[in-house]
Chain A
Amino acid sequence: MTVLLVALGAAVGAPLRYLTDRAVQARFGSAFPWGTLTVNVTGSLLLGVVFGAAADPAVSALVGTGFCGAFTTWSTFGYETVRLVRSGARRAALANVALSVAAGLGAAWLGFAVAHLLAN
């Protein structure tokens, strides 16, 4: 049952990452990886909410492990950062790492705090 929920969440999360990345690029251009930053920060916020609300195991599997896991990505983030370094844009690469980690942590903390507050 848990495996099915994880799979279902992933089946929605992965294509939604592709569509979101695409939509952000279409609007803001693709020189800096804003699309990947958007999915990673949004997914971190949502996972923070799931944990903060102490959601039951089924919801954690569906939304946390499945959806948020497939919606966010380390491989794309890592590849884009290395491409920035290799193309000489070291400052942009550093900014991408710092911004992604800081905004991801802030978003997860915010989601956790708000959900925790509402759940108690």
Chain B
Amino acid sequence: MIAGIDIGSRSMELVLLDKNEMVLERKLPTTFDPASQLKIILDGVKADLISATGYGRKLVTEEICGAPCVSLTEIKAYALGISYLFPEARTILDIGGQDTKAISLMKNGKVAKFEMNDRCAAGTGKFLEHLATVFQLPIEEFGNYALGGTEPLTINSMCTVFAETEATSLMAQGKNPRDIALGLHASIVRRTTNMLHRVGLSEPFVFAGGVANNPCVINMLTDALNIKPLVPEGPDMVGALGSALYGKSLTEIS
């Protein structure tokens, strides 16, 4: 039994693999105390090996988990997870809580090239999450809300704080809030399409990570690229799945 864990800035996910079967999936918020959350998510889990990815991958140690532990980066984890779900996939976009990554894959599923946002949270899930609160909406509804707009208003700033200033000043001008929301989504899409072109976008193209739950981003991405992305079921579980697959590959070697 192999446990794959993805500890992101916002949430952590667990996938338990028995042979090739996913036998368990769990998700918890990371909170300010990830070590305690880790114990909770692993509660009752009997794994032979724990494989961790994500921002908090180094937190996972034998002492905390009671099983041998290994780690890998999100980039490799997403490559493994996506190749398992879509063996033909050539490009991956992963927008998570604080990171956005574009990955191109070779035919054998290995990473050929990747790009990551640097330093700030522009163009990541955090950006949308923060702006959803300005609209007093839960993040899960923000995408659908924006889809109700007709004409995206231009938001120039990529910076979360400045984008908020722009959005509120547009609100003060009496603009349609849905159009503002649409504009905010558009700014994320603009940023990620650049990243995708830098790694060389080719099909099949898979969109994963938490933001792939957002229908507005999917729509706008489709329009901007002229490619409809494949979105896995439970797009935020891919990291944990890839992580578990990595653990499994290690046990198979030995």
Say whether A associates with B. Answer: no
